[in-house]
């Protein structure tokens, strides 16, 4: 897929680099970098709070897994804490009268601490059953259906935050000196507003050969550099992943 994109870009560069406006014109596309929302614990999906294609806000509910198994374990752990507290208090009193040895008291302390740790662990697991969006974005896809079992760490929702839409284009080696990181470039796309801008924030340190689908010997000897640019906030909401764009560099 990337080879095909490179081919189109480089052919376009060859035709437009010598245009009358003396500016370098490069073809590129919008790339979306998705954030996958998951839970570190497993469980049955009892609520999927969003749908594919929906725009969400930060802190909005994303999905909820069934907390009942962990709530049951939490209840048992809390009961064990109460029991071990009583046993510890009793053994502390017995130790003061030398009725038991220090080893027995130490064992009671360890058992109580273990019970407290279990309570903390189950409380955390219950909290991870209800997941919220950390930031706003577009729901690209939902990967599980309601009532399905979700393994721990498996993504449930694919989210595309606005700031994760970037421009990708390729610059021939001979034109690399014309660009630098932090520099603004203008770009256009079909149906988009005019005077769109983006800021270059990544230039590959290694050149790559043009793909072999271009059969010209001269073309195959050319080297290109992968370049990324951050789209200005005023325009990013109208950009879609895979959308072709044309970058103009003075």
Residues 6+ apart with CB under 8 A from 157: 36, 37, 50, 62, 63, 139, 141, 142, 143
User: How many angstroms separate the CA atoms of 50 and 228, rounded?
Assistant: 31
Res 152: pLDDT = 97
Q: Splitting the chain (250 residues) into consecutive groups of 10 residues, what average pLDDT does each group show?
A: 43 44 82 96 97 96 98 97 96 92 94 96 97 96 97 97 92 87 91 88 83 47 84 83 89
State the pTM of this model. Answer: 0.78
Give the pLDDT confidence score for residue 206 in this predicted structure.
86
Give CA separation, 1 vs 4, 171, 211, 213, 228, in Å: 5, 18, 11, 12, 18
The pLDDT score that the predictor gives to residue 54 is: 96
CA distance linking residue 12 with residue 18, whole number of Å: 11
Paired tokens of 239: 């950009």
One-character DSSP codes across 97-125? TTSS-HHHHHHHHHHHHHHHHHHHHHHHH
Task: Give the pLDDT confidence score for residue 42 in this predicted structure.
Answer: 97
Burial of 218 (0-12, 13-18, 19+ CB in 10 A): exposed
Full set of structural domains in the chain with CATH: 2-33+161-249 (2.40.30.170), 35-62+135-157 (2.40.50.100), 68-127 (1.10.287.470)
In angstroms, the CA 212 to CA 220 distance is 7
Whether the CB-CB separation of 57 and 133 falls below 8 Å is answered with yes
């Amino acid at each position: 897929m990337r080879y095909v994109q490179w081919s189109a870009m480089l052919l376009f560069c060859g035709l437009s680099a010598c245009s009358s406006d003396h500016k370098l014109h490069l073809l590129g596309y919008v790339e979306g970098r998705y954030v996958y929302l998951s839970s570190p614990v497993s469980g049955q999906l009892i609520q999927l709070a969003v749908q594919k294609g929906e725009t969400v806000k930060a802190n909005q509910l994303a999905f909820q897994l069934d907390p009942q198994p962990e709530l049951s374990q939490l209840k048992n752990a809390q009961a064990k804490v109460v029991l071990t507290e009583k046993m510890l208090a009793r053994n502390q009193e017995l130790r003061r009268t030398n009725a038991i040895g220090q080893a027995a008291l130490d064992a009671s302390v360890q058992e109580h601490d273990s019970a407290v740790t279990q309570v903390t662990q189950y409380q955390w697991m219950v909290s991870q059953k209800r997941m919220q969006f950390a930031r706003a974005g577009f729901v690209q896809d939902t990967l599980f259906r309601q009532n399905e079992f979700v393994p721990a760490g498996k993504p449930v929702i694919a989210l595309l935050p606005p700031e994760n839409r970037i421009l990708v284009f390729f610059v021939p080696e001979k034109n690399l000196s014309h660009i630098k990181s932090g520099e603004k470039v203008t770009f256009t796309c079909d149906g988009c507003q005019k005077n769109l801008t983006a800021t270059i924030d990544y230039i590959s340190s290694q050149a790559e050969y043009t793909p072999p689908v271009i059969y010209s010997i001269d073309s195959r000897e050319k080297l290109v550099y992968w370049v990324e640019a951050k789209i200005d906030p005023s325009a990013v909401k109208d950009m879609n992943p895979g959308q072709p764009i044309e970058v103009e560099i003075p």
